[in-house]
Amino acid sequence: MEKDEKIAKLRHTLAHLLASAVGNIYKFDKVKLTLGPAIDNGFYYDIDFCGEKVADSDLKKIEDTMKKKLPKWTEWEHKEISKDEALAFFKNNEYKTELINEIVERGEKITTYTCGGFTDLCRGGHLEYPSKDIDPESFKLDRVAGAYWRGDEKNKMLTRIYGLAFNTKTELEAYLKQREKAEKRDHKKLGKELDLFVFSELVGSGLPLWTPKGTVLRNLLDDFVWELRKAYGYMKVEIPHITKKELYEKSGHWDKFKTELFRITTREGHEFAMKPMNCPHHIQIFDRKQWSYKELPQRYANSTTCYRDEQTGELSGLSRVRSFTQDDAHVFCRMIQVKEELGTIWDKVVEPFYKSFGFNLKLRLSLHDPVHPEKYLGNKESWKQAEATLRELAQERKTEFFEGVGEAAFYGPKLDFMATDSLGRQWQVATIQLDMNQPERFDLTCVNEKGEKERIVMIHAAIMGSIDRFLSILIEHTAGNFPLWLSPVQVKMIPVRENHNKYAKKIYKLLNENNIRVEFDDTDTNLGTKVRDAKNNKVPYWIVIGDKEIEANKTTLESRDSGPLGQMTSEELLAKLLEEIKNKPARNAKA
């Protein structure tokens, strides 16, 4: 059995064991079991406790019961039953009844699995001999949360019990240690401590508000991406935040995302939507005229906010929001230009950007799921050609990649770049997508060498993807220790006493005039408190000015990452800082 398959089966088995333990403690006739899948790092089960309050403090007794029951879970018994038998067995559970009826509607067989005297509705996927194959020290219950039935806010709120599970106790302990480190780096925690962003109940969940310091971060990152793109012929465009329904109907987004759209009805009864993506708008800019092949590629770049009506329970800091800013770009070109354009984005934009932060990148070739062609626009031939083009590009460049079936966008396959952070976690970051379907739907062409209309193709390229989500990753990757060029405050001036202010302000003015973001700390506190404040705010450098510095006409520079750097003249100080900012080194960000 493959390792990934085995751990998935182990976690699914433990979800059933959890349900069995809950039923024994709280009585099967007083609780209603619903669903319990395997997930990354563990499992969960959603349960209607019918008014009984269950908290994290109750997890130990449930976990102890699971471990007591495990030795009796020797082997699974699988059984196919009729609809009537299933409805009779689960007659007092409206959740299972709903699932049974859906199984019948899909024309699938109804199956139950029994182990240790516990029977559940399930399609399978367990470890065959749980008592033998599961180490009781390799799992633990983690936390209690609320979850709407089927993820729908209109349904009843259930109690979700999460568990962690790995193949061995060692793996579980390693995960817990890593998670403890991650909690200290949590972007929600550090974002508040470093005064980068806030959420307001009056504004609404999932709608981040950016402080002056956070806005500096966003703008610098966006400027960096634009600096890389501008060198290769990209042009900035701008678009509105709303659109008529008809645009998304033609693009196919309405059918795909209509439940996730914020909709607006005007006084005249017209239906608009707040844009969840930018591509159809950029298509309209391209489609303003008939292009000659000599004028292609056309490369448009646009950092703009998009909106999606995410469910409240799925929101998470900056990682999952309702408003997010994309550093979006679209290239309109001929098929013969595709590989060169893809290569330029890959080499000249994606890799320089992520290398500057010390990320290691892996490539995922994201393909459509041939079992479910109904999920995608276009025909089999266009998908085959687009996927072959991306695969050939990766092979020609001798790049190691893995394939992700079902990970494609609904209009085309993708090159997805996976970044590994300083804690060893992997994130999908930049994406380059090849789209042959939107140009077909909007009839986008150029006039070729023969004077004939030629169908063009479209490349979607987002480097950060969502600036908000990228910042959540970057904050945790660096633990808030941003490199000098990106730090909202780059230098802090610290006069020891009031009589040192005059000389310190002279240095402050020099740095400020050279566009270095510098703060002057003239608070009525001692030197130790001022230095501690600089460290707590993760300022890359601070400059102490006292009697010795004034006497020598120099400054004493200290580094967040390297400690005391000694005295230097103001000219030497300025040259050092400007050189470091220009080079954008990742190594001065202490992870």
Give the residue with greater pLDDT, 51 vs 475: 475
Q: What is the predicted pLDDT for the residue at 63? A: 97
Of 59, 71, 74, 47, the closest CA to residue 163 belongs to 59
* 3-state secondary structure at position 114: strand
Q: What is the predicted pLDDT for the residue at 341? A: 96
Span of 65-74, 100-109, 375-384, 468-477 with lowest mean pLDDT = 375-384
- Per-residue pLDDT tens for 8-39? 999 999 999 999 999 999 998 899 999 999 99
- Per-residue pLDDT tens for 137-146? 999 999 999 9
Q: What is the predicted pLDDT for the residue at 3? A: 62
Instruction: Look up tokens 């470890």; give the residue.
Output: 127
Instruction: Average the pLDDT over 102-123 and give the result.
Output: 94
Q: Is the pLDDT of residue 369 over 70?
A: yes
Q: What is the predicted pLDDT for the residue at 586? A: 53
Q: How confident is the model at residue 154 (pLDDT cuts 50, 70, 90)?
A: confident
Q: How confident is the model at residue 375 (pLDDT cuts 50, 70, 90)?
A: confident
Of 328, 278, 320, the closest CA to residue 303 belongs to 328
Q: What is the DSSP string of 345-401?
A: IIIIIIHHHHHTTT-EEEEEEEE--TT-GGGSSS-HHHHHHHHHHHHHHHHHTT--E
Residues written for the chain: 591
297 backbone dihedrals φ, ψ, rounded to 5°: -75, 150
Average pLDDT along the chain: 93
Q: How confident is the model at residue 1 (pLDDT cuts 50, 70, 90)?
A: very low
Q: Is the pLDDT of residue 84 over 90?
A: yes
Please determine whether the domains at 198-240+275-478 and 491-583 fall in the same fold group of CATH. no
Q: Is the pLDDT of residue 589 over 50?
A: no
Instruction: Average the pLDDT over 313-321 and give the result.
Output: 89
Percent of the chain with pLDDT over 70: 98
Do the Cβ atoms of 33 and 93 come closer than 8 Å?
Answer: yes
* 3-state secondary structure at position 195: coil
Span of 267-281, 366-380, 525-539, 577-591 with lowest mean pLDDT = 577-591
Q: Kindly list the distances between the CA atom of residue 304 and the CA atoms of 28, 206, 240, 448, in Å, as whole numbers in the listed order.
A: 52, 17, 9, 33
How much of the chain is helix, strand and coil, in % rounded to 5?
A: 40, 25, 30
Query: What six digits make up the tokens of 445?
Result: 């062409």
Instruction: Please tell me the CATH superfamily of domain 491-583, with its number.
Output: Anticodon-binding domain (3.40.50.800)
| Fold held by 198-240+275-478 | BirA Bifunctional Protein; domain 2 (3.30.930)
- Per-residue pLDDT tens for 176-194? 999 999 899 999 999 999 9
Instruction: Average the pLDDT over 63-73 and give the result.
Output: 96
Instruction: Average the pLDDT over 463-474 and give the result.
Output: 95
- Per-residue pLDDT tens for 435-456? 999 999 999 999 999 999 999 9
Q: What is the predicted pLDDT for the residue at 504? A: 94
Query: What six digits make up the tokens of 580?
Result: 């470091």
State which amino acid sits at residue 330.
H
Instruction: Average the pLDDT over 269-295 and give the result.
Output: 95
Q: What is the predicted pLDDT for the residue at 380? A: 86
Q: What is the predicted pLDDT for the residue at 585? A: 62
What residue ranges do the domains of the chain occupy? 3-184, 198-240+275-478, 491-583
Q: Is the pLDDT of residue 516 over 70?
A: yes
Q: Is the pLDDT of residue 303 over 90?
A: yes
Q: What is the predicted pLDDT for the residue at 591? A: 47
Q: How confident is the model at residue 239 (pLDDT cuts 50, 70, 90)?
A: very high
Return the CATH architecture of domain 3-184. Answer: 2-Layer Sandwich (3.30)
Q: Kindly list the distances between the CA atom of residue 115 and the CA atoms of 19, 329, 529, in Å, as whole numbers in the listed order.
A: 12, 54, 62
Q: What is the predicted pLDDT for the residue at 200? A: 95
- Catalytic residue list: 279, 308, 326, 328, 330, 414, 460
Q: Is the pLDDT of residue 96 over 70?
A: yes
Q: What is the predicted pLDDT for the residue at 115? A: 95
Q: What is the predicted pLDDT for the residue at 2? A: 56
* 3-state secondary structure at position 189: helix
User: pTM for this structure?
Assistant: 0.83
Q: How confident is the model at residue 552 (pLDDT cuts 50, 70, 90)?
A: very high
Cα–Cα distance, 344 to 234 (Å, whole number): 12
Q: How confident is the model at residue 370 (pLDDT cuts 50, 70, 90)?
A: confident
Cβ contacts of residue 242 below 8 Å, gap of 6+? 264, 272, 273, 274, 275
